[in-house]
């Protein structure tokens, strides 16, 4: 795997697709934001991310350490894989989260190389972004991403392991994009069913950009 091969996945409600087709994947504070955005996920966690400071250590000569802090809420989060713990919560309706059918949820798929082509700033993590054990990295660390992110854990179907209680955190490693990602830089969309695919086609998505992947869901 090299950086051109690393796909990233953004989950969203299917009703957000018409706006995505017009403006891309947008940040909530963007001038192109979706004022009719249909949310999925944990609102309390989203609010926490708006305030959470991610510290990135920078290499420096000499005895003094240098770091820079980012606010997670300034970025649009993507996962490195599918079947995330958050998707499980959404599909089951746990923790006060509105239950959603997998037919309603789609993946917008891009890649690290596409984000670079778009000229957008990004950082990435080795685990869930708000976990105290998680470390953050910048473009300077991209060549080492295979060692930083545990893709073995990212690709696991499930994460519960009594012998490795950190597996869940590692599975939820994130790629965080600052700015709106145009549809030009989306590789395609993954959906649960032919029903969901048909709805995307009705919305104007090219059929060849839609993949039916029920194994990406619970």
Averaged pLDDT, 4-19: 94
Sequence-distant (6+) residues with CB within 8 A of 82 are 9, 107, 190, 213, 216, 217
Q: What is the pLDDT of residue 3?
A: 46
pLDDT in tens, 59-88: 655 555 678 899 999 999 999 999 999 999
For the chain, give the mean pLDDT. 93
Residue 84 has a pLDDT of: 97
The model's pLDDT over 114-141, given as tens digits with 9 standing for 90+, comes to 999 999 999 999 999 999 999 999 999 9
0.75 exceeded by the pTM?
yes
Q: What ranges in the chain are assigned the alpha helix state H?
A: 17-23, 43-51, 85-92, 112-118, 145-148, 151-154, 167-171, 194-203
* Confidence band for 57, pLDDT divided at 50, 70 and 90: confident
- Whole-angstrom distance, CA of residue 50 vs CA of residue 185: 25
Predicted local confidence at residue 65, as pLDDT:
63
What pLDDT does 43 receive? 82
Domains in the chain: boundaries? 3-216
Burial of 151 (0-12, 13-18, 19+ CB in 10 A): middle
């Amino acid at each position: 795997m090299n950086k051109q091969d690393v796909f990233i996945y953004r989950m969203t409600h299917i009703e957000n697709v018409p706006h995505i087709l017009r403006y891309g994947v947008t940040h909530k504070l963007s001038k192109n934001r979706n004022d009719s955005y249909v949310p999925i996920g944990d609102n309390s966690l989203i609010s926490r991310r708006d305030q959470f400071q991610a510290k990135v250590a920078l290499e420096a000569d000499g005895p003094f350490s240098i770091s820079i802090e980012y606010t997670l809420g300034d970025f649009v989060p993507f996962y490195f894989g599918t079947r995330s713990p958050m998707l499980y919560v959404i599909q089951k309706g746990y923790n006060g989260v509105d239950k959603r059918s997998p037919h309603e949820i789609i993946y917008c798929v891009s890649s690290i190389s596409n984000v670079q082509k778009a000229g957008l700033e990004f950082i990435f993590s080795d685990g869930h972004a708000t976990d105290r054990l998680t470390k953050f990295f910048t473009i300077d660390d991209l060549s080492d991403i295979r060692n930083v992110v545990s893709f073995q854990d990212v690709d696991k179907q499930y994460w519960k392991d009594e012998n490795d209680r950190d597996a869940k955190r590692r599975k939820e490693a994130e790629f965080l994009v600052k700015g709106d990602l145009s549809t030009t830089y989306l590789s395609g969309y993954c959906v649960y069913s032919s029903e969901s695919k048909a709805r995307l086609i009705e919305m104007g998505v090219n059929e060849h950009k839609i993949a039916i992947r029920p194994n990406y869901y619970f």
